[in-house]
Amino acid sequence: MSILETVVVAHVVGICLLLAWAIHGRGRVSLIAGYDGGLPPEREAELARDAAAVLVAAAAATTLLVVDAWTGGVPRAEALTTLAIVAPVAWFLWKWNVREPPSTTR
């Protein structure tokens, strides 16, 4: 991997981390694609935490490609990176689109 490719990947990682910080740290849940508001504040905070966690996981997985390219020490880095990104994204989509929301009445 050349220096240029490393810089491009570093930009992707930086953008993921910046979005994670903006969503979770600054409470900007409007940055989440498809979110139109309407959740109670505690659910909105949970959504922000989950979205930020997925972005941090994607940044870490993408960094794995750089580590492998420079050291050659990660077996099947592409497959591990894909799995490390797809698994949290699938969990996030399942949690917020398929799973029933917790009941507020008993």
Classify 98 as helix, strand or coil: helix
Torsion of CA 41, 47, 51, 56, to 10 degrees: 70
Q: Which two tokens stand for residue 37?
A: 């508001």
pLDDT of residue 100: 67
Q: Which residue reads 């799973």 in tokens?
A: 99
DSSP H or E segment with residue 5: helix 3-20
CA 41 to CA 63: how far, in whole Å?
33
CA 26 to CA 81: how far, in whole Å?
28
Beta-carbon count within 10 A of 69 CB: 15
| pLDDT over 80 at 12, yes or no | yes
Q: Return the DSSP state at 37.
A: S
pLDDT tens-digit map of 50-75: 999 999 999 999 998 888 888 888 88
